[in-house]
Amino acid sequence: MSSNSFRVMKFGGSSVGSPRRLRQVIELIGKHSRTGPLAVVVSAMGDTTDWLLEAADLATRGELEGSLTVVARIAHLAKTNAAALHPAQSTTLAARVDQLLAPLQQLLQGISLTRECSPPSKDKVLSFGELISATLLAELLRAAGTEAHFRDARLLLVTDDTFGTARVDVARTRERLQSATAEWGTTVPVIPGFIAATLDGRTTTLGRNGSDYTAALVAQGLGASEVTVWTDVLGLHTADPDLVSDAYPVAHLTHGEGLELAAVGVRMLHPRTMIPLIEAGISLRIRNTMHPDHPGTLIDAIGSRDGQRPTCIATREDLALLGIEVRKLSDQFQLGERALSALRAARVTVWMTAQSANGQSIALVVPRPDAQRARNALEAELAQELARREVEPLGVREPVTLVTLVAEAMGHGVNVAGRFFSALGAVGVGVRASAQGASSRSISCVVDAEDTAIAVRTTHAAFNLAHQQVSLFLLGKGTVGGQLLAQLRAQQEQLRQRHGIALRVVGIADSRHTLFDPAGLALDGIEEQLARVVRGEPGTRALAPLLDELRRLPVPILVDCTADGDVASLYTEAFRRSIHVVAANKKPLALPWNEREALLAEARRHHVAYHYETTVASSLPVIDTLANLVRTGDTVRLITASLSGSVGFICNELTAGVPLSTAVRTARERGFTESDPREDLSGADVARKALILARELGLSLSLSDVALEPFVPEPSDAGDSPESYLRSLRALDAEYTQKVERCRQSGTVLRYLARIDPTRLGTDAPVIRVGLTAVEAGQPAADLRGSESFVSFTTMRHSEFPLTVRGAGAGGAVTASGVLADILRVSQTLRGR
């Protein structure tokens, strides 16, 4: 950078809106003015522009007193800021503010008398914000020892008389700026942004992002090397930080990327700002006033040379999608040209157009407040064709959001569009329209407004993060839930480093307490944290409001490690919010057939995962194996299974000569049984598991269709508590010892099995039978050890040698590992790479 070339700094309203920030601005200007020629462009302080609009509106309604009250508010802000920085001159500066605002008060009085605020009058009103800001900043700089002077932009920038969004005469503006530098000498010119003037001296404004545009024009006119826009953020982010907590500043972009982002409405950029910079080869840097050491974002002709450079996801919300479809297309119809011309004449901004290859239909994205005006304009333009029914009635979808992926590298790679749409499709976000420019630098799509957050989070993670973030809300911290937390603690770092998956527990709830933090809970001591929470409303309904927070987080998953029978409604609410569900809870799957089918249909409708592998045989891949058999066209003829690891353990203990009551107590102490062993010994748990498997075959059966023989009939003196039940089992010790002895004498082993025979459907024989069986030696179930489970599938393809899945079938750690596997299955499916 030449030491003689100008640099231009622009400070936004937030940068000069408070004494603390204003002091930082003065220090920055003083520091940089000592290293070479510097020009400063400044916006109105804080919310001054909004207040001026309010004052003009009140005056137009004849409410002069209210209008002047707003002016007093503007004066108070300016005087307070000035006095805080230069108290010795507070009286003089206050008088200067009053002097500057006196013409505004007169102007508002005139507006209130005529009850009319013409565009020229409105521009005149709005000019006072920048005039006050630039005047005070120049005086405060001088007081701080920096030689600076106010320079009126209306004497430098020449425009036409399109008030509100004036068009700049670039040639005349350049001439005036170059002539002015001789007068400036070595002083720092402080120029009000946003305002300009016609050749005959009438005040105009430059419209949205007008101060940035002023800075670009000043830089172009002065032949500056760089424009720095000082604002309240660290730079252009990879996405809106309000939508994506992991968004981060982009260090380096090309002019082309900046122009693409400006074109889709990124707040800090505007096409009019970028074009003068591109034409003159001037770089633009965006930096944070309060963090001046941070380099911010540099936008220049070169951009980043990093092949893995980040991608920006831009959003524009509160839009409407208008669709036109032609029934009979002729060469003369020119649908796109006519539609755009009609909207241009109606002064409606079009943010995106998407036309079919044959021109048969076109989608137009416009601001939602302008949707009706746009529709009227299009219907007027196509009135004859509509009357002849050559055009379908216009469709309007609102509100929608425009989501745009911007990256220079897109034009140099393959499958960018595929990854973009695949990521959205994986989370059930419907794309209503899409478009890609000839530069291949950006691709845009329209999504429903309610899908904005999940669409942006998903695409941001797919293109910008080395790891897939996953947000878990855990229900239940008992045997399985507690073990899952332990495994997450042990595996978190390895999963991130080796598999690119960052699992984060954001919520946990038990029957009495709920803990939730979108930023993630510290897993160390989480049980103690939960215990300290004030007891909340019981039941799963109280958790529904938290789902609204969960759905806004990356890859939200509701993880159910409870045995709650009333949780299906919570699953439904989760699915409707595009939240995945991973469950070890069997009860929702054993609901009446229609309710179970409705639950699964809700998950499919919203394109979310519902994984429940652990509901049948802990961590064994039973459901997945069965699903693959069915999907590949095999026919299942018989399923034989030992589905309760706890009962299997008890059977092995009985065979070893352990009394029933002792065996059950041991199984409970080791965490093999449900909290109440009756669930296991009654056979209800196995019946549910068998029903789940049968339903995976498409059999519309219910629990009442299961021929169930309890493993242990409930003693008459069992009592209500699990402990009293365990004591009552002593009365059955002798009976079960005799059953084991009879099996031993016949060379068999006592097992508790489920048998599912689809061929019996439609007959009087039960399709599902659960009960005690004496198994002959050599059969798969005969040599099960400990808490092992097994499932045997006899199918058309596996008839001679049934397909068998066998392994540990009980225990909190084993089940928790299966739950974790289901969580990772969701994560890796969405990651897609």
The answer to whether residue 541 scores a pLDDT higher than 70 is no
Total-model pTM: 0.68
Q: pLDDT for 737-770, tens place per residue?
A: 999 999 999 999 999 999 999 999 989 999 999 9
The answer to whether residue 544 scores a pLDDT higher than 70 is yes
Q: Is residue 143 assigned to a domain?
A: yes
588 and 541, same domain (yes or no): yes
436 and 505, same domain (yes or no): no
427 and 515, same domain (yes or no): no
| β-strand partners of 42 | 11, 192
Residue after which a domain boundary falls, among 420, 436, 464: 464
Q: Which of 506-510, 524-528, 699-703, 828-832 has the highest mean pLDDT?
A: 699-703
Burial class, 206, CB count within 10 angstroms (exposed 0-12 / middle 13-18 / buried 19+): buried
Q: Is the peptide bond before 276 cis (omega within 30 degrees of 0)?
A: no
Q: Is residue 284 assigned to a domain?
A: no
% of the chain surpassing 70 pLDDT = 95
User: Residue 536 contacts by C-beta under 8 Å, 6 or more apart in sequence?
Assistant: 512, 513, 514, 542
CB contact burial 127-136 (16+ within 10 A = b; e otherwise): bbbbbbbbbb
Question: For position 581, which CATH number holds?
Answer: 3.40.50.720
CB 664 within 8 A of CB 729: yes
601 and 655, same domain (yes or no): no
Residue-averaged pLDDT of the chain = 89
Neighbouring C-beta atoms of residue 104, cutoff 10 Å: 24
Radius of gyration of the chain (CA): 36
Residue 142 is predicted with a pLDDT of 95
Dist CA 286 CA 800 (whole Å): 72
Q: pLDDT for 421-440, tens place per residue?
A: 888 887 778 899 998 866 66
Residue 1 is predicted with a pLDDT of 40
Least confident of 91-100, 411-420, 811-820: 411-420
661 and 739, same domain (yes or no): yes
Residue 412 is predicted with a pLDDT of 52
Residue 519 is predicted with a pLDDT of 82
Q: Is residue 2 assigned to a domain?
A: no
Residue 2 is predicted with a pLDDT of 43
Residue 385 is predicted with a pLDDT of 85
DSSP string of 692-761?
Answer: HHHHHTT----GGGEEE--SSPPPTT--SSHHHHHHHGGGGHHHHHHHHHHHHHHTEEEEEEEEE-GGGT
781 and 713, same domain (yes or no): yes
Dist CA 377 CA 276 (whole Å): 33
Dist CA 172 CA 154 (whole Å): 12
Question: For position 102, which CATH number holds?
Answer: 3.40.1160.10
Dist CA 423 CA 446 (whole Å): 14
The answer to whether residue 535 scores a pLDDT higher than 60 is no
Residue 242 is predicted with a pLDDT of 84
The answer to whether residue 262 scores a pLDDT higher than 90 is no
Q: Is residue 700 assigned to a domain?
A: yes
Residue after which a domain boundary falls, among 182, 199, 232: 232
Q: Which amino acid is at 100?
A: L
- Fill in the DSSP letter of residue 58: H
Q: Is residue 269 assigned to a domain?
A: no
Q: Which residue has the higher pLDDT, 820 or 264?
A: 820
495 and 600, same domain (yes or no): yes
Residue 830 is predicted with a pLDDT of 61
Q: pLDDT for 217-241, tens place per residue?
A: 999 999 999 999 999 889 899 888 8
Average pLDDT over residues 194-220: 93
Q: pLDDT for 376-405, tens place per residue?
A: 999 999 898 888 888 888 889 999 999 998
629 and 774, same domain (yes or no): yes
215 and 325, same domain (yes or no): no
Q: Which are the catalytic amino acids?
A: 689
Dist CA 298 CA 251 (whole Å): 6
As for how many domains the chain has, the answer is 4
551 band by pLDDT with thresholds 50, 70 and 90: confident
Average pLDDT over residues 597-605: 94
Q: Which amino acid is at 302?
A: I
Residue 312 host element (H or E):
strand 312-325
- Among residues 438, 351, 442, the alpha carbon closest in space to that of 402 is found at 351
Residue after which a domain boundary falls, among 232, 249, 268: 232
Cα separations (Å) of 705 from 116, 592, 762, 800?
A: 80, 11, 12, 29
Question: For position 788, which CATH number holds?
Answer: 3.30.360.10
825 and 797, same domain (yes or no): no
Residue 4 host element (H or E):
none
Q: Is residue 709 assigned to a domain?
A: yes
Strands 768-776 and 748-756: antiparallel
Q: Is residue 293 assigned to a domain?
A: no
Dist CA 106 CA 693 (whole Å): 83
Q: pLDDT for 650-682, tens place per residue?
A: 999 999 999 999 999 999 888 888 778 888 899
679 and 606, same domain (yes or no): no
Question: What region does 135 belong to: left with phi over 0, alpha with psi -120 to 50, or beta?
Answer: alpha
What is the 3-state secondary structure of 125-186?
Answer: HHHHHHHHHHHHHHHHHHHCCCCEEECCHHHCCEECCCCCCCCECHHHHHHHHHHHHHHHCC
Tokens 């307490």 sit on residue: 513
Residue 791 is predicted with a pLDDT of 94
551 and 449, same domain (yes or no): no
Q: Is the alpha carbon torsion for 819, 820, 826, 829 positive or negative? A: negative
Residue 823 host element (H or E):
helix 812-831
Q: Is residue 256 assigned to a domain?
A: no
**Phi, psi at residue 277, to the nearest 5°?**
-70, -40
Average pLDDT over residues 497-525: 86
Q: How many CA atoms lie within 13 A of 529 on its CB side?
A: 16
Q: Which residue has the higher pLDDT, 278 or 393?
A: 278
Residue 534 is predicted with a pLDDT of 62
156 band by pLDDT with thresholds 50, 70 and 90: very high
Residue 415 is predicted with a pLDDT of 67
Q: pLDDT for 336-385, tens place per residue?
A: 888 899 999 999 999 998 887 666 788 999 999 999 999 999 999 989 88
Range of the domain at 135: 7-232
Q: pLDDT for 29-44, tens place per residue?
A: 999 999 999 999 999 9
% of the chain surpassing 90 pLDDT = 60
Q: pLDDT for 39-85, tens place per residue?
A: 999 999 999 999 999 999 999 999 999 999 999 999 999 999 999 99
